[in-house]
């Protein structure tokens, strides 16, 4: 007999060799129907995995991350099986679960069309309806290679040949289909009740532009049709809110063929951008930050010294100046180090909080570019805080408070993750433990709920990531707080302590927006382009009923502009209804309609973008109303 400790802490005895599925069935028939995978001693596994030792077991449903990823991973195999049935000559590569569904990459001479995706969905339904059992098996390396050669799957052969000699080489089989895979998977294909293939795009093998272009098919799947319908509705809403589309329609920003990945900000977009930057500066001054600016091009030697060369050079751009090698900065940190090092510091000078809106450049593959979300140049709202070890927790708490205040202004909810040491990292185990524990304690002191993201820290230190939730439920990673013992060491940063001796400061890297460009994209989609009054590039549109009111409309617009509002007058000889619809399409918060009656009474008819007709009021009353809305940054 073996003892199994369940998620609720209870311990139950079972025969050795029992499977998680059998345990689920013994507990509840309803649970057994919904369980998709298991977490055995902290590792996600198949439901049919035999358990032969005392263990901790959590049964996972679609509500659990491990269950969801298992579900989507199996759906990717169903897709691949359908492709091989309909297009036998296509070669398989990889097909993982991702954050929102799954994809599979195929080597095919002919790209998949929307009609092809419809055919594939029909074939997938046959596979699901057949409820094919999913079986895992292992083979020695030579037999594994022979099997994939027999099936004429060269990419799989390559993957096997690159595995370490001691690696267990596992396969999953469902019906006639067999795939190289580490798993885990569902017990059978029948649980995938509702699915949809979203799109097919090009993707380079292993993300390298030097390799062959493959066809990547994206899909989504759910246990219930209702969940799929809700997801597809959200997808349509996301298309309506796409910042690339709205950026062009509202004349805010665009990206042209002449500069792929390099965004252009247009006059109205610059209004929005400058308002965000002004808000950023105002809040940072309140929290004791000084603003700096560091050069965009710096010596290549600096990037060797900082460690970025070893960890980041593939993402960097380079140039030569006077026969010397220079790099265009992909991040602001090394410049911040030089600013700190410019003079001797006392412990009384610390903490030093230095903030920078720094333009950085990073090489991104063309296939990864996406509007303002993924670009090749962007402005990071960096700050570097230099402190004594005793000040670490209070400074982390201070940054948390700053970030929390920022996000509340825009109406964002968020959750946080603590990311720990990655494999590719610098520094000692002791330093990493001190840094990680400091971040953990700061969040616990604030009473924050957080999840641990093992191995996803920066190469120089652990971090706290803030994930914003937008108005349609999507999440975006924006703010981050990274604790760093390595950079001060590499740059030999010091301060003189109370004992008169030199000591090494600790530093925090942190961003709030993440990047101005990406945050604008998120805001645009969050508000569907209908920014709150304080951020709207045009706040008021004055609409004369006829040419008789044009002069009076221009005067009112001038008075409003003198009071600080951003105002336009619609001088076109168009019908009133057309002008109002145009202003609505441009997402302008307020429209002031002026006709003969309004002129006679000395009032304006006010129409709100969100609330419709608000009736008439004097210009002074309207100014008071908008001034309060702007002052409070009302949403």
* Binding residue positions: 333, 384, 509
Residue 166's contacts (CB-CB under 8 Å, 6 or more residues apart) are none
Helix (H) or strand (E) holding 599: helix 596-601
Q: 308 catalytic, yes or no? A: no
CB neighbour class for 251 (10 Å; exposed up to 12, middle 13-18, buried from 19) = middle
**Is position 382 annotated as part of the catalytic site?**
yes
What residues form the annotated binding site for Zn(2+)?
333, 384, 509
Active site residue 463: yes
**Sheet with 169-174, edge to edge strand ranges:** 134-139, 169-174, 177-180
Sign of the Cα torsion 210, 211, 212, 218 reads: negative
**Helical (H) or strand (E) element with 336:** helix 333-341
Structure tokens at 213: 């272009």
CB-based contacts of 102, cutoff 8 Å, min separation 6 = 72, 73, 75, 76, 79, 95, 96, 218, 219, 220, 221
Let me know if 376 is a catalytic residue.
no
Indicate which residue of 73, 284, 362, 503 is catalytic: 362
- Residue in 64, 81, 308, 333 annotated catalytic: 333
Report the alpha-carbon distance of residue 148 to residue 159 in Å, rounded. Answer: 10
From 156, 463, 579, 607, active-site residue = 463
Decide: 33 and 47 in contact? Cβ < 8 Å.
Answer: no
Residue 380 is a catalytic residue: yes
The 3-class SS string of 571-589 reads: CCCCCHHHHHHHHHHCCCC
Separation between Cα atoms, residue 248 and residue 255, nearest integer Å: 10
Burial group, residue 168, by CB count within 10 angstroms (0-12, 13-18, 19+): exposed
For the question of residue 241 being annotated catalytic, the response is no
Sheet holding 506-511, edge to edge: 290-291, 352-361, 377-387, 506-511, 475-484, 463-469, 413-419, 450-453
- Is 478 tagged catalytic? no
Catalytic residue among 196, 243, 268, 509: 509
Neighbours of 574 (CB within 10 A): 12
Nearest 5°: phi and psi at 170? -110, 150
Q: Identify the active-site residue in 382, 465, 484, 570.
A: 382
Which of the following is catalytic: 191, 284, 361, 384? 384
- Reference 438, options 495, 387, 476; nearest CA is 387
Contact between 218 and 99 under an 8 Å Cβ cutoff? The reply is no
Catalytic residue among 352, 380, 539, 586: 380
Residue positions annotated with a catalytic role: 333, 362, 380, 382, 384, 463, 509
């Amino acid at each position: 007999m073996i003892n199994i400790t369940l998620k609720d802490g209870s311990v139950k005895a079972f025969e050795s060799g029992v499977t998680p599925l059998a345990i689920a069935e013994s507990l509840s028939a309803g649970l057994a129907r919904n369980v998709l995978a298991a977490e055995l001693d902290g590792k996600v596994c198949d439901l049919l995995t035999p358990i032969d030792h005392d263990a901790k077991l959590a049964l996972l449903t679609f509500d659990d991350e491990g269950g969801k990823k298992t579900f989507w991973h199996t759906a990717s195999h169903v897709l691949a099986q359908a492709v091989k049935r309909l297009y036998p000559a296509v070669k398989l590569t990889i097909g993982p679960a991702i954050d929102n569904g799954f994809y599979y990459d195929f080597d095919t001479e002919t790209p998949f069309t929307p009609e092809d995706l419809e055919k594939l969905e029909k074939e997938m339904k046959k596979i699901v309806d057949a409820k094919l059992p999913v079986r895992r098996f292992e083979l020695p390396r030579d037999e594994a290679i022979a099997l994939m050669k027999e099936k004429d799957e060269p990419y799989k052969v390559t993957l096997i040949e690159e595995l370490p000699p001691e690696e267990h080489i596992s396969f999953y089989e469902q019906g006639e289909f067999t795939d190289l895979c580490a798993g885990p998977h569902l017990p059978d294909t029948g649980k995938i009740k509702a699915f949809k293939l979203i799109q097919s795009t090009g993707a380079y093998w292993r993300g390298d532009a030097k390799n062959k272009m493959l066809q990547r098919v994206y899909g989504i799947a759910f246990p219930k049709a209702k969940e799929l319908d809700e997801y597809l509705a959200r997808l349509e809403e996301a298309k309506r809110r796409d910042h690339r589309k709205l950026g062009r329609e509202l004349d805010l920003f665009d990206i042209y063929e002449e500069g792929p990945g390099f965004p252009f900000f247009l006059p109205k977009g610059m209004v929005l951008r400058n308002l965000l930057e002004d808000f950023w500066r105002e809040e940072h001054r309140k929290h004791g930050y000084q603003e700096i600016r560091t050069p965009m091009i710096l010596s290549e030697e600096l990037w060797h010294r900082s460690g970025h060369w070893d960890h980041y050079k593939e993402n960097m751009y380079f140039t030569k100046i006077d026969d010397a090698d220079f790099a265009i900065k992909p991040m602001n940190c090394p410049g911040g180090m030089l600013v700190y090092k410019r003079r001797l510091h006392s412990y009384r000078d610390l903490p030093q909080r230095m903030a920078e809106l720094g333009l950085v450049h990073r090489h991104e593959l063309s296939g990864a570019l996406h509007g303002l979300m993924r670009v090749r140049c962007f402005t990071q709202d960096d700050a570097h805080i230099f402190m004594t070890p005793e000040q670490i927790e209070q400074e982390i708490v201070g940054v948390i408070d700053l970030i929390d205040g920022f996000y509340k202004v825009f109406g964002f909810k968020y959750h946080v993750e603590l990311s720990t040491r990655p494999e590719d990292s610098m520094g000692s185990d002791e330093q990493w433990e001190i840094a990680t524990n400091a971040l953990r304690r700061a969040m616990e002191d604030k009473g924050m709920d957080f999840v641990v993201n093992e191995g996803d820290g920066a190469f120089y230190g652990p971090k706290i990531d803030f994930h914003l939730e937008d108005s349609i439920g999507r999440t975006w990673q924006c703010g981050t707080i990274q604790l760093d013992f390595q950079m001060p060491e590499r740059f030999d940063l010091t301060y003189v302590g109370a004992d008169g001796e030199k000591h090494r400061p600790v530093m925090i890297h942190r961003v709030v927006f993440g990047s101005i460009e990406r945050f604008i994209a998120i805001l645009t989609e969050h508000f569907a382009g209908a920014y709150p009054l304080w951020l709207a590039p045009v706040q008021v549109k004055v609409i004369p009923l006829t040419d008789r009111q044009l002069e009076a409309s221009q005067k009112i617009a001038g008075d409003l502009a003198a009071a600080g509002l951003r105002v336009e007058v619609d001088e076109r000889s168009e019908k009133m209804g057309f002008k109002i619809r145009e202003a609505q399409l441009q997402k302008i918060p307020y429209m002031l309609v002026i006709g003969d009656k309004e002129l006679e009474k000395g009032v304006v008819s006010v129409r709100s973008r969100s609330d419709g007709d608000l009736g008439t009021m004097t210009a002074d009353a309207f100014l008071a109303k908008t001034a309060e809305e702007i002052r409070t940054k009302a949403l």
